[in-house]
Amino acid sequence: MGPTPTILLACHGDVPQARALHEQLEREGLLVVVGRTLNDVRARLRAADAAVAFHAPGPWTPLDVLEPEARRIPVAVVALEPEIEEALAALRAGFIHYAPPTAAPIDLVARLREALARRGPTTRSGPPSIEPPAIVGRSRVLAEIQALLRRVATSAASTVLITGESGTGKDVLARAIHAHSARAAGPFMNITCSAIPETLLESELFGHERGAFTDARERKLGLLEQATGGTVFLDEIGEMSLQLQAKLLRVLEERAFRRVGGREEIRPDVRIVAATNRDLRARVREGQFRADLYFRLAVVELSLPPLRERPEDVEPLARHFIERFGIELRSPVRRLSADAVRLLQRYPWPGNVRELRNTIERAVLLCDGPELDAEHLHLDLARASRALEPGFRLPDGGIVLRDLERDLLQQALEHARGNQTEAARLLGMSRDQVRYRVEKHGLIAGWRRADHGSAEEPIVNSLLDPELAPEPTDTLADPLRRPEHCHERREAA
């Protein structure tokens, strides 16, 4: 007997019909995963043996997302606003069933079972669930990375850390590790840690039990549980909260976790591949990332250099994207002109491979002939070079770092009208780091409303720096104004 089939339910938010079908499927012993957002559905597709799209107009439609999968797995449609033309189109597209919202859950389950039976027994020991992605380039450093990647993929290493600037292709390396490993037949689940609020991220990773919190109307399997036998890719892990870092460390150390609100120990067989564009060692020093988790993740570390440091890869990547988008966009473009190649190699690519891909896609769309020329690229060399220049240069006479820090912090607080969270964003720090430096330098502690008008004025923390305390006055004057100005105003009154 093969593994129990997994059924994906794709719907916008909380749909009563989806809840009813979910309960019926579980009563019959089938595994169920639910996708309520576009990213959810895409992430869970690879683990699904069949799917049901609860279709209604919205910002994205489950019907459109699942249509390309209808030739690979059985997909049924429950139309919350059924239309005859849409039903005919869905059946022509390969969907196994098009049902109205009043369809009985037991009938839908029967349709899915019939389709799965015709398809044959469910097995995860066949071909890889994802094709090995193309890692394009001819630089020496990329060849070294690929050699290390294959060794890592076929090893028993349970964790891999991929570092590099945004847009360098860390997700491609993660998929390649999965595709070249013994886990290739299992699911590949990915999640971007910075894109989901902390409270939801915990549920996404670990799942939750029914009633664990207000909106937990049904049990939900987390990505770690769904990915058993495969790989979980945690992108932008440097943005994960310290609380979740502790829970992830327990998974890595003990190979076990509990769903939110649950007591059962879940022991998933997964490989964790994490990626970040942050300097995690610096985050550890700042207290924003756990040192024990960093060393546990970095058992094997792949560092992907920015594209400007491997110019030999620019031309083959550009030709690869021309071939890809030429087919996708049905464009006649097939080659690069010599001028286009020279411009591509001179450009510093601050956005790395992602920027190159987007540039070629736009150029292929704009080009009407077989050859893509420099004029189609629309690259601004001067602007790109400025984007890579450091924002501050050390003067010949040097600086006093403490004074510079104080000055920058004061400017950020003034710009943010005393809002420390906004000041932290402007400085690329955490709020705790800003608060510490405010106390360290005795700067503005808050803001208050003036007696007249709506202007906001700073309050100087005199306890931290008595020299900055304002002189007593009968009016609420600006405490940073020179004393003689205050006397002049009183005399005028």
Question: Are 290 and 201 found together in one domain?
Answer: yes
What CATH number corresponds to the domain at position 87?
3.40.50.2300
* Average pLDDT estimate for 341-348: 91
Q: Is residue 470 part of a domain?
A: yes
Q: Determine the pLDDT at residue 232.
A: 92
Number of domains in the chain: 4
Q: Range of 455's domain?
A: 401-492
Task: Indicate whether 208 pLDDT > 90.
Answer: no
Question: Are 283 and 312 found together in one domain?
Answer: no
- DSSP helix/strand/coil, 441: helix
The residue from 265, 285, 303 where one domain ends is 303
Q: Determine the pLDDT at residue 383.
A: 64
* Average pLDDT estimate for 318-325: 90
Task: Indicate whether 239 pLDDT > 60.
Answer: yes
Task: Indicate whether 412 pLDDT > 60.
Answer: yes
Q: Is residue 393 part of a domain?
A: no
Where is mean pLDDT largest: 23-27, 175-179, 440-444, 489-493? 175-179
234 falls in which pLDDT band (50, 70, 90)? very high
Least confident of 126-130, 158-162, 246-250, 316-320: 126-130
Closest by CA position to 189, among listed 203, 202, 171: 171
In the chain, the percentage of residues whose pLDDT exceeds 70 is 82
CA 423 to CA 418: how far, in whole Å?
8
pLDDT in tens, 156-172: 888 999 999 999 999 99
Specify the amino acid at residue 179. Answer: A
Q: Is residue 270 part of a domain?
A: yes
Task: Indicate whether 344 pLDDT > 90.
Answer: yes
pLDDT in tens, 105-157: 888 888 888 888 876 654 443 333 445 677 899 999 999 999 899 889 988 88
Question: Are 273 and 381 found together in one domain?
Answer: no
Question: Are 222 and 282 found together in one domain?
Answer: yes
46 falls in which pLDDT band (50, 70, 90)? confident
Q: Determine the pLDDT at residue 145.
A: 93
Question: Are 285 and 146 found together in one domain?
Answer: yes
Q: Is residue 420 part of a domain?
A: yes
Question: Are 289 and 202 found together in one domain?
Answer: yes
Q: Determine the pLDDT at residue 394.
A: 59
- DSSP helix/strand/coil, 273: strand
Q: Is residue 130 part of a domain?
A: no
Q: Determine the pLDDT at residue 223.
A: 85
Q: Is residue 155 part of a domain?
A: yes
**Helices 140-153 & 170-179, crossing angle to 10 degrees?**
40
Q: Is residue 476 part of a domain?
A: yes
Question: Are 435 and 293 found together in one domain?
Answer: no
Q: Determine the pLDDT at residue 418.
A: 80
The residue from 270, 303, 336 where one domain ends is 303
pLDDT in tens, 415-466: 787 888 888 878 877 777 888 888 888 875 444 333 333 344 444 443 344 4
Task: Indicate whether 193 pLDDT > 90.
Answer: no
Question: Are 406 and 334 found together in one domain?
Answer: no
Question: Sign (positive/negative) of CA torsion 409, 414, 418, 420?
Answer: negative
* Average pLDDT estimate for 267-286: 92
Question: Are 375 and 405 found together in one domain?
Answer: no
Question: Are 144 and 100 found together in one domain?
Answer: no
What CATH number corresponds to the domain at position 296?
3.40.50.300
The residue from 244, 270, 303 where one domain ends is 303
Question: Are 268 and 148 found together in one domain?
Answer: yes
Per-position DSSP letters for 319-359, written without gaps between them: HHHHHHHHHHTT----EE-HHHHHHHHHS--TTHHHHHHHH
Question: Are 254 and 381 found together in one domain?
Answer: no
What CATH number corresponds to the domain at position 475?
1.10.10
* Average pLDDT estimate for 271-282: 93
Q: Is residue 468 part of a domain?
A: yes
Q: Determine the pLDDT at residue 353.
A: 94
382 falls in which pLDDT band (50, 70, 90)? low
**Helices 401-415 & 420-427, crossing angle to 10 degrees?**
120
What CATH number corresponds to the domain at position 358?
1.10.8.60
Per-position DSSP letters for 53-117, written without gaps between them: EEE-SSSS-HHHHHGGGTTTS-EEEEESS--HHHHHHHHHTT-SEEE-TT--HHHHHHHHHHHHH
